[in-house]
Amino acid sequence: MSTRLATGGRLLKKSQAVEFTFNGKTMRGYAGDTLASALLANDQMLVGRSFKYHRPRGIVAAGPEEPNALVNLGDEASFEPNQRVTTTELFEGLTATSQNHWPSLEFDVGAINKHLSRFLPAGFYYKMFMYPRSFWKHVYEPIIRQSAGLGKAPKTKDGDTYEHFYAFCDVLVIGGGVAGLEAALSAGRSGARVILIEQTAEWGGRTPVDGGIIDEADAQSFVDRAVAELSAMENVTLRTRTMGAGVYDHGYVLGYERVTDHQPGVAGPRHRLWRIRAGHIITATGAIERPLSFAGNDIPGVMLAAAMRDYVVNFGVSVGDRTVVVTNNDDAYLTAIALKHAGLDVPAILDARVLPQDSELMAQAKALGIRVLMGHAVSSVKGGKRVTGVVVCSQAGEGAVLEEIACDAVAMSGGWSPVVHLWSHCGGKLVWDEAHACFNPDPNNPPIGADGAGFVTAAGAASGMFQLDDVLNDAHAAADGVTRSLGFKTPKDAKAPKGARRDDAPMMPVWLMPQGASAKLREKAWLDYQNDVKVSDVRLAAQEGFVSVEHAKRYTTLGMATDQGKLSNINGLATLANAVNAPIPSVGTTTFRPPYHPISMAAIGGEARGAVFQPVRRTPLHDWHDANGAEWEPVGHWRRPYAYRRANETTHDAVMREVSNTREKMGLLDASTLGKIIVKGPDAGKFLDMMYTNMMSTLKPGKCRYGLMCSENGFLIDDGVVARIEEDTWLCHTTTGGAERIHGHMEEWLQTEWWDWNVYVANVTEQYAQVAVVGPNARKCLERLGGMDVSKETLGFMDWADGELGGFKVRVYRISFSGELSYEIAVDASHGRAFWDALLVAGHDLGVMPYGTESLHILRAEKGFIMIGDETDGTIIPQDLGLSWAISKKKDDYLGKRAQERSHMTDPNRWKLVGLETVDGSTLPDGAYAVGEGTNENGQRNVIGRVTSSYHSPNLGKGIAMGLVLNGPDRMGETLSFPGTDGKTYEARITDPVFYDKEGEKPNV
């Protein structure tokens, strides 16, 4: 059984006991524990079930490479699934539940799958669930989702906050082990700006655990000294609990800081995403130990040798009383020695190698009385929910039993692989290291920056250095080279500290144990724990022709789980290479993609949630609308009132009321969102003649003209009223959504094509609150405010004037989008609300009533005015809309002119704008299609038109619509059929699009 030892635990604060629960059971640990060490201290060996076969699984590792021990953490607003116990720091009141079990962790019905494993081979999903097709959605998927699937999705809104932080440095060092510390020291001494980040809460990495000697003292004293020196440097930023998640082009790195995960409830954000721009990146990310592939290597109690050492040394936790060590290298002997020193029994070390003489560590182990069996291997592990013993065989054979050793834990080591993920994210290449059987970063093929030079350098174990002395020298040299290339100088006397060398015997690659393991053993030898991929699966994939590593990965799902194959990658590649008889480097690796280890979605979102999920643009009158029943309509990022609903009124009632009132008395519209762009300069007239299809240069100062804007492809992109302010100055109104877009469009043409034209533009949209005063009583209202002459004689239709109204400095445009007498009045935004209030007072007994965007739409539709985005969709030219009158024939050119002369644009069969009137007065469904004779090549009914706008007109008492119809203007009076999605077919007559006041007398009074 696993338990807490009386001694040891360098990271524990034993004075501070911590209580937590696992599956409802209360357990105790100490401050400084990870959830993993605390679970083991409470003899919780079984922590989850595997994905496919629901096999019992225990903790295998002690870091982010852990594949098995994922739990649901917290509850309600702090609930989060798939949290690794090895990277979760213990805190008071932590609650965890195991995942992927049903009905309970101890007894799982799904475990029957393991007896069906013969029928669940690699590619099973592809083979089994193809037919019949309908079964996928209704039978297979629900069952798979119930029986597989890892954590549960949270049900409650996340109660925490998250943020981003932009940081800049010359050198970013990722990893705070001895290599990272030495690299940061060296870089820091040069005066460069340095950021050093470490994913755990502790500096030093695993060297202090392994008992390395630096400058003739223990490693911890080097770590303490380094951290003290770095902390004192003004130019160095140190950060623990911050993981290098991804390396991107241009020296951009995401750092994932877990700010309050270890102390929930404390004020502040939970996670902080560091968005770091670095001159150069040093990856000192260490190495990860590989498992060995033997039968039963997934039974709880089988653990990576170094992880077992971590638990004993760092947390004072033993995984078992009797541990068999199985290895192909010297490093695992450290575990045997550490266990012995902790007073635990190591009945045997099974070393797959046969060596001519003992190395330093082997001699030490033997001196401690440990039995070392060379050339030996594990044939299989005995036990179900925990290890009870191992069956020993020869590595060279097929697994014939030599003896059985009773034990309750197995420590395995298949060698070490440098953590090359961050090196590889931006295309750093790898090179196969024959001696250590691993892929190292290839220093000759680093990720390349914009200047053609590498921008990532690996250091220490991450670059394939396994001797402490080599690690320190490599890190020092890496930082030295980097700072020099950035133009800094390291002090000459600064040297790497001296690491003690160890006389290790060479490791021996072991990809299968024993090397001739039978099919039966191979089916129990796990490669990928989380996705339940075994040696036999990879072999089967190869046999079925999936010989490319990327194909084999997807077919077997090897390395595709949330641990992204940190443990299984190299073992899987080697197994594939053996199966296809190719050398490992020629098989290659799969692609490493960010993030290195899962990061929270919320951290990526940062502050962008709730009220600030997206910017909402508010006009100066927003608060009034909000207080007066506005139903909001999003228009771009703006919120505009759709209608102002009164008590006991439906939205439709409100719209009908507003429309009628505007036609009969007087309405107010908040038109502040319409774009306003000033265009000024000696060439402004020429420029606007190019921008608009109309002639704008001939407009007289004081006058307004409606204009159309097309893209160079001829399509209508915007419209609005243009006013000539002065001889060389125009003001262009755009649509609400068009202000920024059209401003950019103008700047682009001025900056890239007509850079020598003397024109300046400025987007003054938000400088003004603009109010449309509309209806028969509009003039009366303005006259009451007084201050300027707004009579027909002085301020005629399509005139504008500056002046004063009610003491407000205003610019009044006599323009109309409603077909009524109408003034659009611009006032400085800071006075907008006061002006609006003044209009409401002055118009009180004139029947003043604000109206929203839906009323605006109905009023303009009654007049047959088009709306950009309704009548246009990016494929419509002005000629389609009967707007040829707004296209100047006198001009040589305007944007879109040549495009509009192309054959497709002049095709008489282009659908054209008409009015549509239902035969029975009902309202046509918006977007409905008119059907014609016959069917097309797909067997669908031919269509001959569609509805672009459709409303109920309270003024006319019937439905009115506009639409684009084949040969429409030539078919006046014809009736078309529009099948609706409601099953009903609507009959509508083609009419003139102007339904109301065809002569246009009403606005011109």
Measured from the Cβ of residue 489, the count of other Cβ atoms closer than 10 Å reads 12
User: Alpha carbon of 938 to those of 361, 644, 935: distances in Å?
Assistant: 77, 46, 8
Q: Give 125-130's long-range contacts (Cβ < 8 A, gap of 24+).
A: 126/555
Member of 322, 554, 680, 910 binding other proteins (CB under 8 A) = 680
Q: Does 466 bind other proteins (CB under 8 A)?
A: no
Member of 2, 68, 100, 237 binding other proteins (CB under 8 A) = 237
Judge contact between 463 and 482, C-beta under 8 A: no
Pick the closer one to other proteins by CB: 194 or 708. 194
Among the residue ranges 117-125, 482-490, 611-619, 840-848, the one whose residues contact other proteins (CB under 8 A): 611-619
Kindly state the DSSP code that residue 448 receives in the 8-state scheme: B
Pick the closer one to other proteins by CB: 680 or 891. 680
Q: Does 340 bind other proteins (CB under 8 A)?
A: no
- Dmax over CA atoms of the chain, in Å, equals 114
**Sequence-ordered list of residues with C-beta below 8 angstroms from that of 602, at least 6 positions apart, any chain:** 158, 160, 162, 270, 271, 609
CB of 259 to other proteins, least distance (A): 8
Pick the closer one to other proteins by CB: 257 or 331. 257
Query: Binding pattern to other proteins, positions 735-774, x when CB under 8 A?
Result: -----------------------x-xxx-xxxxx------
Burial 273-312 (b: 16+ CB within 10 A, else e): bbebebbbbbbbbbbbbbbbbbbbbbbbbbbbbbbbbbbb
On the CB side of 444, CA atoms within 13 Å amount to 1
Pick the closer one to other proteins by CB: 28 or 617. 617
Pick the closer one to other proteins by CB: 74 or 620. 620
Report DSSP letters for 326-388, one per residue. EESSSHHHHHHHHHHHTT-EEEEEEES---SS--HHHHHHHHTT--EEETEEEEEEEESSSEE
Q: In whole angstroms, give the CA distance from residue 446 to residue 30.
A: 43
Q: Provide the pairing of β-strand 409-413 with 322-327.
A: parallel
Total residues binding other proteins (CB under 8 A): 55
CB of 833 to other proteins, least distance (A): 6
Among the residue ranges 363-371, 468-476, 805-813, 942-950, the one whose residues contact other proteins (CB under 8 A): 805-813
Q: If DSSP states are collapsed to H, E and C, what string results for 862-876?
A: HCCCCCCCCCCCCCC
Q: Does 692 bind other proteins (CB under 8 A)?
A: no
Pick the closer one to other proteins by CB: 506 or 807. 807
Q: What values do phi and psi take at 86, rounded to 5?
A: -75, -20
> Would you state the structure tokens that stand for residue 102, as one six-digit string?
């049903």
| Cα distance from N-terminal residue to C-terminal residue, the chain | 96
Pick the closer one to other proteins by CB: 826 or 916. 826
Beta partners for residue 413, in sequence order? 327
CB of 744 to other proteins, least distance (A): 12
Q: In whole angstroms, give the CA distance from residue 760 to residue 758.
A: 7
Pick the closer one to other proteins by CB: 10 or 833. 833
Q: Does 134 bind other proteins (CB under 8 A)?
A: no
Q: Which of residues 244-263 bind other proteins (CB under 8 A)?
A: 260
Pick the closer one to other proteins by CB: 540 or 602. 602
Pick the closer one to other proteins by CB: 135 or 168. 168
CB of 326 to other proteins, least distance (A): 46
Member of 109, 435, 608, 919 binding other proteins (CB under 8 A) = 608
Judge contact between 851 and 643, C-beta under 8 A: yes
Distance from chain centroid for Cα 37: 32
CB of 761 to other proteins, least distance (A): 8
Pick the closer one to other proteins by CB: 554 or 833. 833
Member of 149, 159, 682, 796 binding other proteins (CB under 8 A) = 682
Kindly state the DSSP code that residue 220 receives in the 8-state scheme: H
CB of 830 to other proteins, least distance (A): 4
CB of 31 to other proteins, least distance (A): 20
Member of 5, 635, 678, 905 binding other proteins (CB under 8 A) = 678
Q: In whole angstroms, give the CA distance from residue 124 to residue 587.
A: 24
CB of 752 to other proteins, least distance (A): 15
CB of 631 to other proteins, least distance (A): 19
Pick the closer one to other proteins by CB: 124 or 757. 757
Is residue 358 classed exposed, middle or buried when 0-12, 13-18 and 19+ CB atoms within 10 A define those classes?
middle
Q: Does 617 bind other proteins (CB under 8 A)?
A: yes
Member of 23, 78, 147, 161 binding other proteins (CB under 8 A) = 161
Q: Which of residues 39-68 bind other proteins (CB under 8 A)?
A: none
CB of 486 to other proteins, least distance (A): 16
CB of 492 to other proteins, least distance (A): 26
Q: Does 616 bind other proteins (CB under 8 A)?
A: yes
Beta partners for residue 664, in sequence order? none
CB of 702 to other proteins, least distance (A): 18
Q: Does 168 bind other proteins (CB under 8 A)?
A: yes
Q: Does 275 bind other proteins (CB under 8 A)?
A: yes
With vertex at residue 98, the alpha carbon angle to CA 93 and CA 101, rounded to the nearest 5 degrees, is: 155
CB of 812 to other proteins, least distance (A): 16
Q: Does 165 bind other proteins (CB under 8 A)?
A: yes
Member of 262, 618, 897, 941 binding other proteins (CB under 8 A) = 618
CB of 567 to other proteins, least distance (A): 34
Distance from chain centroid for Cα 362: 49
Strands (DSSP E) found in 416-476: 416-418, 430-433, 438-441, 456-458
Q: Does 267 bind other proteins (CB under 8 A)?
A: yes
Q: In whole angstroms, give the CA distance from residue 810 to residue 790.
A: 12
Q: Which of residues 426-465 bind other proteins (CB under 8 A)?
A: none
Q: If DSSP states are collapsed to H, E and C, what string results for 146-208?
A: HHCCCCCCCCCCCCCCEEEEEEEEEEEEECCEHHHHHHHHHHHHCCCCEEEECCCCCCECCHH
Q: Does 23 bind other proteins (CB under 8 A)?
A: no
Q: Provide the pairing of β-strand 416-418 with 287-289.
A: antiparallel
Q: Does 367 bind other proteins (CB under 8 A)?
A: no
CB of 594 to other proteins, least distance (A): 19
Q: Does 730 bind other proteins (CB under 8 A)?
A: no
Q: Which of residues 174-203 bind other proteins (CB under 8 A)?
A: 193
CB of 611 to other proteins, least distance (A): 5
Pick the closer one to other proteins by CB: 8 or 620. 620
Query: Binding pattern to other proteins, positions 808-837, x when CB under 8 A?
Result: xx------------------xxxx-xxx--
User: Alpha carbon of 468 to those of 335, 423, 462, 710: distances in Å?
Assistant: 17, 21, 12, 69
Kindly state the DSSP code that residue 846 receives in the 8-state scheme: G
Q: In whole angstroms, give the CA distance from residue 990 to residue 973.
A: 5
Single-letter amino acid code for the residue at 218: D
Q: In whole angstroms, give the CA distance from residue 365 to residue 84.
A: 33
Residues that bind other proteins (CB under 8 A): 161, 163-168, 193, 234, 237, 260, 266-269, 272, 275, 277, 606-608, 611-612, 614-620, 637-638, 678, 680-682, 758, 760-762, 764-768, 807-809, 828-831, 833-835
